[in-house]
Structure 1
Amino acid sequence: MFGRLHKFLGRRPAERSTEQPPEVRRPVKRAHNLFEAAAAYVSACAEDDQEQIDEASDWVSPEALSFGVSELACRAVIALARERDESPQTVARELLGLPAA
């Protein structure tokens, strides 16, 4: 028994992976990062897609999603401000329908 175990562990990873048939190997599920979750969440909110909102909410913790949405908002306001040649404060207030400061 130890001889087989030693022989198996002594093989290179490429040799080990051929031991299992392809149907037994599970695909590796890639984890979503907080920025992917934030992008999916915000775009789903803009499209009023509750199913996608729920799915994106499950990708990361609520705290991480909140941080990602905040970061996305900051970057969007900065990009719009540069595009419009206005201050970020002016753009943010305009987007929220607030009077100019």
Structure 2
Amino acid sequence: MLGRVRKSWSTWRRRAARREERPVQETRRTQGAERRPHNLFEAAAAYVAACVEDDQERIEEAAGWVEPGALVFGVNELACRALIALARERDESPRVVARSLLGLPAA
């Protein structure tokens, strides 16, 4: 029992040490400003906007703000919210709008 506690504690300490050792990356917009961590929705918004503009530097910057799994969740959430907003604006169902955006025939 004590061995498992010791192993868990050492694993936690190694992860905490790795987090502290990571260099803080300054971005174009935050150089010299007070730094605060980005949340996954900020990262998703910046990532998607950079993809639309085909700006590889900004894509890589936004992808580095959060873990890859969190970024995927954020992009998915952004897509869902955008689809809902567009469907309300068009007064159509989200399914119809999604198929329209993808160029698929109406179901």
TM-score scaled to structure 2, two decimals?
0.68
Report the counterpart of residue 71 of structure 1 in structure 2: 77
Aligned match of 2:66 in 41, 51, 60?
Answer: 60
Mapped pair 1:46 → 2:52: yes
Shift of 1:42: 0.3
Q: One-letter code of the match for 1:50?
A: Q
Q: Which structure 1 residue ranges, 4+ long, deviate > 3 Å from structure 2?
A: none
Work out the percentage of aligned pairs sharing the same amino acid.
Answer: 76
**Corresponding position of 1:80:** 86
> Matched residue of 1:29: which SS?
coil
Instruction: Give aligned pairs, total.
Output: 76
Aligned mate of 2:36, from 19, 30, 36: 30
Q: Secondary structure at the match of 1:31?
A: coil
1:78 alignment partner AA: I
Tell me the amino acid that sits aligned with residue 57 of structure 1.
A
Larger radius of gyration: 1
Any stretches of 5+ residues in structure 1 without a counterpart? 1-26
Structure 2 unaligned residues grouped into runs of 5+: 1-32
Measured on the aligned residues, the alpha-carbon RMSD in Å equals 1.4
